Structure 1
């Protein structure tokens, strides 16, 4: 077995289900708490450091209800303990408004949560409530990952940072390459506008971990490009179910394992959850 302890490390997050897909898309899509717990264990063994969690109502629809989240959180923690960073989603999916998204996080107080700036701060009228929420998360040491869908979103993030609406530490960002659309395919070059805007932020982006996710069979190529450029990666059925050769992955762990193996071939190692937590909170 290769000793990876001295290699530069890259965090692999897995997004195993998302808000939109069903078993009609893939029979191994994990939805129930027990299925998510088993997926978490398999993805941990494959090299993941973080699980990005979506849950569903009894009728299969996307949910941000605490009552739907709790059984899944408990099942995953029973399965893997603290060996994965557990990140909840606050995605609206056209169902939830900012006050409801914020209320879920305040009630559950998760270890980590993804928040889309476009959703939480759609305009200047939402800035005060969003800033209060972002500062509360910083005080509670909840790790937000700000979801950025374009270089324009990166510039918006930088503006909020400059004005102090987003605290300077204890968070990360996710660059989303592509969109939810039929036949969507991302390419490694899609990352370039994000990075141009990001590096233009100067000291505002220093020490803030960035990650990316991508759609389609070039997910792996996008992920490896990001890793070589100093970023971290998210893979999984939420955005892609295809292996690099275009065939369908058997499960989420197959996508994680493929990325972990390719990282090691490039002299990079999958990061552990413990190391990822230190990345966000080096003073811990």
Structure 2
């Protein structure tokens, strides 16, 4: 499975084609799916361009994307910094009526178990975001852990050897705990393409898009999300 992460918290300074509005997200979703993506991960935005979990902003983004690419799973971030931030972000999540197919919940965040329980109660699937060995050790102790859709191994280290070591350590924790959940692994910026290759080599799912990097494997600036997805599809064929 190849997931396209269309925008994250990126600004237009990072890349002029970062999608903000519901219409822009729908446009990029269609292009990314045509290029080979089979799932989407988005960060809805408010009218001022800030990341948002407001039920209206979420609904607008989901409606536009689902009209553009019907049947394609769409997931949202729930990360700690999204306004109103911290534990207060649970309130807009609780009040969402138009629901995503899944959300990402980062185990580094203190209320991760609460958020997982909250979204499960609304019938939303969970990607468990694991950044470190300590995150993995916390995750495997959670009562709801085995109900998750997948484990999302997120490698933020910019030194490639350090990143690979972190990924290996996380995988070892999961294996010792006998977790059989699907794994999606990705990196950030300098680690994006090395971690994508590692994910392909291990037979895991991959993620790619302007949330994670604005560059192609050659180091050239990508044109847009679809350009990055096309490069990932070509690279994946080698595995």
| Higher mean C-alpha deviation, range 224-233 or range 247-256 | 224-233
Structure 1's 137 and 64: CA in aligned 2 closer, same or farther, altered over 3 A? closer
The C-alpha deviation readout for 1:208-259, integer Å capped at 9, x for no partner, is 1111221225522310211211321111111210112211100011111111
Consecutive unaligned residues of structure 1, counting only runs of 5 or more, are 1-10, 180-184, 267-284
Partner of 2:81: 93
Structure 1's 221 and 248: CA in aligned 2 closer, same or farther, altered over 3 A? same
Instruction: Please give the TM-score of this superposition, normalised by the length of structure 2.
Output: 0.88
Partner of 2:35: 46
Structure 1's 205 and 243: CA in aligned 2 closer, same or farther, altered over 3 A? farther
Equivalent residues in 2 for 1:16-165 (5 A)?
Answer: 16-19=6-9, 21-82=10-71, 84-93=72-81, 95=83, 96-101=85-90, 103-104=92-93, 107-108=96-97, 109-121=99-111, 130=114, 134-135=116-117, 137-138=119-120, 141-160=123-142, 164=143
Partner of 1:200: 173
| Higher mean C-alpha deviation, range 243-252 or range 201-210 | 201-210
Q: Matched residues in 1 for 2:184 and 2:194: separation?
A: 14
- Tell me by how many angstroms 1:102 deviates: 5.8
Do the aligned partners of 2:51 and 2:82 also contact (CA within 8 Å) in 1? no
| Higher mean C-alpha deviation, range 42-51 or range 194-203 | 194-203
- Tell me by how many angstroms 1:189 deviates: 5.5
Q: Which has the larger radius of gyration?
A: 1
Partner of 2:3: 13
Greater relative contact order (Cα < 8 A, sep 6+):
1
Q: Matched residues in 1 for 2:178 and 2:205: separation?
A: 15
Consecutive unaligned residues of structure 2, counting only runs of 5 or more, are none
Query: How many residues are matched?
Result: 237
Q: Matched residues in 1 for 2:95 and 2:191: separation?
A: 36
Which one of the candidate residues 198, 204, 211 is aligned to 1:231? 204
Partner of 2:163: 190
Equivalent residues in 2 for 1:258-277 (5 A)?
Answer: 258-266=231-239
Instruction: Please give the TM-score of this superposition, normalised by the length of structure 1.
Output: 0.75
Structure 1's 51 and 187: CA in aligned 2 closer, same or farther, altered over 3 A? same
Structure 1's 195 and 218: CA in aligned 2 closer, same or farther, altered over 3 A? closer
Structure 1's 98 and 171: CA in aligned 2 closer, same or farther, altered over 3 A? farther
